[in-house]
A and B are shown apart, each in its own frame.
Chain A
Amino acid sequence: MAILGFEITGYQIAFVVLAGITLGSAALVVLMPNIMRAALFLGLTLLGVAGLYVLMNAAFLAAVQVMIYVGAVTTMIILAIFLSHRLMQVGFAQAIHNPVFAFAAAGVMFIFLFITVANSLWVRDICAPGPANTDVGVHAVANALLQPYVFPFELASVVLLVALVGAVVIAKEDRPGEP
């Protein structure tokens, strides 16, 4: 099917829809005045990213994305919202206290990402639609994680462990009266 001279495939339609959902909800995360709704839109953004992974035939990555980012991280963020505002207090709001600083930080982040993306070596065919063969994908991911990338993988887990222990220590110190 062709529109305005461009060849449009189902793959492209799906990409446009998913990318639209991802970007649109990402924008809403920033713009929503209600922080609880913003957190829910963050969940939708992450779900959209998972959809993009599916389009790239990375089903395993997509499933893990949903499990970790949508199931766990978003829930943690919502819990953090509950806990940082006093429990039961309904009037959540998010405010930008310093717009100049916020724009500057966002701009730096954008420039960094842009340079990274522009300088990356993209393998074109990897995102082309094709017959799914993700079982190989799972094995490939497993081999990659435990052979060439075993050091960063283990380093990441050590960092997480340190964060976990640190969180416990901080939480313990919060109540001086208790042992």
Chain B
Amino acid sequence: MSPETLQKKFLKGLTEQFPDILGKLREYVPGQLIAVLSRDELPKVTKYAVNQLGARFVITVATDQRDKTGDFGISYILAFDEEKQFLVLHSNLPADDPRIESVTPDVPAANWAEREAYDMVGIVPEGHPDPRRLVLPDDFPAGIHPLRKEYEYNTRFPSEPQNAPPRMPPPEGSTVVPLGPFYPTLEEPAYFRLFLDGERVVGSDYRGFYNHRAVEKLGDSELNYNQVPFVAQQICGICGQVHSCAYVEAVERACEIETPMRAKYIRTILLELERIHSHLLWVGLAGHIIAFDTVLMQLWRIREPVMWLMERVTGNRKHYSSNLVGGVRFDITLEAAEDIRRVLDKVEEEFKAVVDAVLIDTSLMARLKDVGILTEENARALGAVGPTARGSNVAIDCRVDHPYAAYDQLDVQKQVQDGCDCWARTLVRLYEVFESIRLVRKALDQMPGGPIMAKIDGSLPADRIGLCSVEAARGESHHYVRTGDNNRPYRWRLRAPTYPNLQAVGCMIQGVNLADVPICIGSYDPCFSCTERVETLDVNTNEIRVYTREELQELSRRKTLG
């Protein structure tokens, strides 16, 4: 352990309460402490760290490691943002009795993570207040945990419709109104059951994960290190660069690969351009949700040149396929850099005009101010991230707190608002666009020359753990990689920003008018496909099919012609 880590405040707090923990801590990667604890200690330490020391719960990683050590592993990842530190609390659970005491009653942010650990690997969270099925489809067989190693990535399971999780009963006297699974302003399937008293929301229940795509299973079984980024970038339709970048940085950290500085700068520039076009997209969508389509059309027009820029640099509007372990595939030439500067000047000018109009638009404020309140206390308790958290005065931003790529050299300014409402979240995003434009310009100015790919000889070492948090437009995307044999990751776990933010929605829409529910849900910029990436199964047909290009064309023609 490095001497400066030993000086950190959280460690002192932790060793005061648990004196023998010091001997169990290991620091393989700077800023990432790993402690192997017994299963009785782990929940105690987690609760203490979160509730007394101000740690932020990130995610749990459940691993089936029976082929190596004969037991299951569970890791609770915590973040001490102010001290730029990750803490991984790991425990090994016997294969015949994988139980662990649930921390959810004291750490509400762990709710979904523990349910998912049960669904996917079968780690039983004892004393969980709401242990319903979360991730698996309604008709998935009971007792099968698909992320265990005995199941292949393409195993097909029988349909057992009786396994659908029970629905939350509505409060007495309220009416259930279904919002979803398909709803006009949420472009992806999500099913909120709203409990209404008149038009006022008195409660809600969420059932989602309709888009499972077995990404983690593929990463654990089939893909090698350099195939994963190409799958990771397709997790999301917007933040592809975020996911592939977070994954490769996690591997690079675990295996101590020295990535060339120029590659890091290129990643940074692409990430910031992605944030710009994502935020522009969001502002447009928010306008659409409150029936202000002019905002939608104008913002998307302003956004379009940024998409062309991405195509100019990487050859693709989306799915840039830019990142590999050790570097990037596409260089930014001098001419491309000039194009980027030119386009950003125009975007900045046009966006400035929009922002000036938005900031004085009282009719917009009437719809957004004091709507969808997420208090600072709740935002922290539920582990909200990104603009959702920063709009509630929680100053966390991975670019500053857990720097990756070249952000440690760019002096990022966090954009924080204390309004706690939809308007505050809007302001955070508006100001972040300008900050991102500044960062891209600065990165272009500072970018050093040199290679864009590190030289990697032989296979990467096994059984190391790397973490990386990347600040996506929606918040922190967290990737965890445990390296394995044969140049394949042993366990790859990822948590998209919508995952914690979605859990905060119930709190946000409590008591609001039905008319405000879409903008509340919209205000944290939901990305359901990011969140739902684990398992694939067509509920209706139980059929896994690959369509050829011709078949797809034929299908679309048939549909169009009726």
Contacts and interface: CB of A to CB of B under 8 A. Distances in A.
Q: Do chains A and B touch in the complex (CB under 8 A)?
A: yes
A169 interface: no
B198 interface: yes
Nearest to B198: A87
A87 B198 CA distance: 8
A160 B175 CA distance: 33
Interface in A81-127: 86-88
Nearest to A83: B198
Contacts of A87: 175, 198
A87 B175 CA distance: 8
A26 B489 CA distance: 78
A179 B32 CA distance: 52
A86 B177 CA distance: 14
A87 to B, nearest CB: 6
A87 B197 CA distance: 9
A174 to B, nearest CB: 12
Contacts of B177: 88
Nearest to A86: B175
What interface size band does chain B fall in? under 10
Contacts of A86: 173, 175
Contacts of A88: 175, 177
A86 B174 CA distance: 9
A88 B178 CA distance: 12
Interface string B164-183: 00000000010101000000
A88 B170 CA distance: 14
A166 B185 CA distance: 42
A88 B195 CA distance: 12
A103 B173 CA distance: 36
A1 to B, nearest CB: 55
A86 B197 CA distance: 10
What interface size band does chain A fall in? under 10
Contacts of B198: 87
6 contacts: A86-B173, A86-B175, A87-B175, A87-B198, A88-B175, A88-B177
Interface in A119-155: none
Contacts of B173: 86
A159 to B, nearest CB: 29
Nearest to A88: B175
Interface string A39-81: 0000000000000000000000000000000000000000000
Contacts of B175: 86-88
Pick the 3 closest A-B CB pairs, nearest first: A88-B175, A87-B175, A86-B175
A87 B173 CA distance: 10
B65 to A, nearest CB: 51
A86 B175 CA distance: 9
A88 B177 CA distance: 9
Interface string B105-123: 0000000000000000000
Nearest to B175: A88
Interface in B116-173: 173
A84 to B, nearest CB: 14
Interface string B49-65: 00000000000000000
A86 to B, nearest CB: 7
A76 B85 CA distance: 63
A87 B199 CA distance: 10
A87 B174 CA distance: 9
A34 to B, nearest CB: 21
A87 B177 CA distance: 11
Nearest to A87: B175
A178 to B, nearest CB: 12
A2 to B, nearest CB: 60
A140 to B, nearest CB: 46
A115 to B, nearest CB: 46
Interface in B272-312: none
Nearest to B173: A86
A88 B173 CA distance: 12
A150 B177 CA distance: 51
A88 B175 CA distance: 7
B447 to A, nearest CB: 60
A130 B177 CA distance: 57
A66 to B, nearest CB: 30
B537 to A, nearest CB: 33
B504 to A, nearest CB: 26
Nearest to A89: B175
Interface in B447-468: none
A87 B176 CA distance: 11
A32 B73 CA distance: 68
Nearest to B176: A88
B170 to A, nearest CB: 11
Interface string A1-37: 0000000000000000000000000000000000000
A88 B514 CA distance: 15
B340 to A, nearest CB: 54
Nearest to B177: A88
A96 B177 CA distance: 32
A10 to B, nearest CB: 51
A5 to B, nearest CB: 63
B197 to A, nearest CB: 9
A141 B321 CA distance: 81
A71 to B, nearest CB: 24
B60 to A, nearest CB: 39
Of B173, B175, B177, the most chain A CB neighbours within 10 A belong to B175
A87 B196 CA distance: 10
A112 B225 CA distance: 94
B406 to A, nearest CB: 55
Interface string B215-233: 0000000000000000000
Interface in B16-58: none
Interface in B182-208: 198
B513 to A, nearest CB: 15
A169 to B, nearest CB: 20
